[in-house]
Amino acid sequence: MEDTLTILVPVYNEEDNIVRLEIELLEFLKQSIVDAKVLFINDCSTDTSQELIESICQKHTAFNYILFSENKGLSAALKAGFDNVNSSLVGYIDADLQTSPKDFNLLLEHVKNHELVTGIRVNRKDGIIKRWSSKIANRIRRLFTNDGMLDTGCPLKIIKTSYAKNIPMFKGLHRFLPALILLQNGTIKQVPVNHFPRTAGYSKFGLRQRLVSPLIDCFAYLWMKRRAIHYTIEKKNF
């Protein structure tokens, strides 16, 4: 059976990026090496994002949306996406378009042999504070998880859906997707991807969210790792 892909796009107050998202995602769908579609997850935006999303979905059958009744954060948005897709693969990209949907094809080349394929942002176009806080946070996560990830926070990933649905998502654990795949004995591939400056809207994560929260979440991950259950069924009669 051929692979299919659903791209998750979490959205929170990104009205200035929605039109560009439509254009760039449509362009990728035309070039995708697998059959692909898009699922917006609107985390209860307070701007006009929802109206723009609904307009896109009315025009294009390959686009759908989920609207939260209250703001729940990125981990909840990804969890809702994982729970509601039926494609064999699930992708993820941020609505700010600092990574390009076209680079999904670079990741798709490796999905046959890996359960998660993630980007590594080359020549990052963020400010110095964001780059350094991200670098520190990545080092902290690697220390706790030993997952070998060079850029855990890269918002361009593809996961085999059967593995994504088994991820025990809690608030903040979107930062640990590679480590949570490794807990399932999955394998990971890191692929260099392009990175661009944010041209509209604003980042929803400040210094605390990039440094303090990841450190706290590391302890939650360790708790989960120590209590993870693994089993292999040798035989069954149904």
- Segment 190-206 shows an average pLDDT of 75
State which amino acid sits at residue 183.
L
User: What is the pTM assigned to this prediction?
Assistant: 0.82
Please report, for residues 139, 163, 218, the alpha-carbon distance to residue 143 in angstroms, rounded to integers and kept in the order given.
6, 24, 9
**Domain range list for the chain:** 4-226
Nearest in space to 111 (alpha carbons), one of 90, 80, 81? 90
Do the Cβ atoms of 231 and 157 come closer than 8 Å? Answer: no
CATH number for the domain whose boundaries are 4-226 = 3.90.550.10
3-class DSSP assignment, residue 48? coil
State which amino acid sits at residue 126.
D
Split at pLDDT 50, 70, 90, the class of 151 is: confident
Highest mean pLDDT among 32-36, 174-178, 209-213: 32-36
Nearest in space to 140 (alpha carbons), one of 155, 152, 156? 152
